[in-house]
């Protein structure tokens, strides 16, 4: 599945929900399914501090593909992280750098990636891209 197809899949999954609360119930379900990071791995270098919630992001490169693990203290943030990881995990750094998470907008979650929301998600997407860029120019 291409990275665009993965995003389309998420959009389709959400299309069945008309009510905002149903959408968020599903995001919370996704959040609960995210494995997260063990307390020992929640180190300062992985922390992305937000005004409203905190996010931790760890990254590894295997056979030219990037794998992310992440966690958040708020479950809605964690649910959105789950979707971002679903999209970006297992992709090459080049693909990651070229791909904007358009599904966020399509699902109606734009506010969570706005700079004013300050839940750490926008910074997390930036960090994912920075990691991708750094893996190309180590």
Partner 1 sequence: MGASPFSVQAIRDQFPALRQQVYGKQLIYFDNGATSQKPQVVLDTLKQYYALENANIHRGVHYLSQQATTAYEQARRTIQSYIRAKSPDEIIFTKGTTDAINLVAYSFGELLKAGDEILITAMEHHSNIVPWQLLCERKGCVLKVVPISKKGELDLVAFEELLSEKTKLFALTHISNTLGTINPVQSLIQKAHQVGAKVLLDGAQSIQHLTIDVKALNCDFYAFSGHKVFGPTGIGILYGKEEILEKMPPYQGGGDMIAKVTFERTTYNTLPFKFEAGTPHIAGAIGLGSAIEFLNSLDLEAAAAHELELTKYAQGILDTFEGLHIIGEAKNKTSVVSFTIDNMHPFDLGTLLDKQGIAVRTGHHCTQPLMDFFGIPGTVRASFAFYNTKAEIDTFVAALERSMQILGA
What residues are labeled active site?
51
CB of 8 to partner 1, least distance (A): 24
CB of 20 to partner 1, least distance (A): 4
> In the stretch 83-112, what mask flags binding to partner 1 with x, by CB under 8 A?
------------------------------
Pairing label, strands 65-72, 47-48: unpaired
Q: Is 47 in the site for partner 1 (CB under 8 A)?
A: no
Contact 66, 91 (CB under 8 A): yes
Helix (H) or strand (E) holding 57: strand 55-62
Which residues fall within 8 angstroms of residue 54, CB to CB, at 6 or more apart? 47, 48, 72, 73, 120
Contact 35, 55 (CB under 8 A): no
Given 12, 25, 100, 105, the residue binding partner 1 (CB under 8 A): 25
Q: What is the CA radius of gyration of the chain?
A: 14
Q: Is 121 in the site for partner 1 (CB under 8 A)?
A: no
Q: Is 33 in the site for partner 1 (CB under 8 A)?
A: no
Q: Is 37 in the site for partner 1 (CB under 8 A)?
A: no
Residues binding partner 1 (CB under 8 A): 20-21, 24-25, 28, 51-54, 73-77, 119
């Amino acid at each position: 599945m291409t990275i665009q197809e993965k995003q389309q899949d998420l959009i389709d999954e959400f299309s069945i929900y008309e009510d905002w609360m149903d959408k968020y119930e599903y995001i919370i379900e996704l959040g609960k399914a995210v494995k997260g990071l063990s307390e020992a791995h929640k180190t300062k270098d992985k922390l992305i501090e937000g005004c409203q919630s905190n996010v931790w992001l760890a990254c590894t490169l295997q056979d030219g593909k990037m794998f992310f693990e992440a966690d958040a203290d708020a479950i809605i943030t964690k649910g959105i992280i789950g979707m971002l990881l679903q999209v970006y995990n297992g992709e090459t750094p080049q693909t990651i750098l070229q791909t904007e998470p358009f599904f966020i907008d399509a699902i109606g979650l734009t506010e969570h990636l706005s700079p004013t929301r300050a839940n750490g998600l926008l910074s997390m997407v930036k960090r994912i891209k920075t990691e991708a860029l750094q893996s190309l120019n180590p």
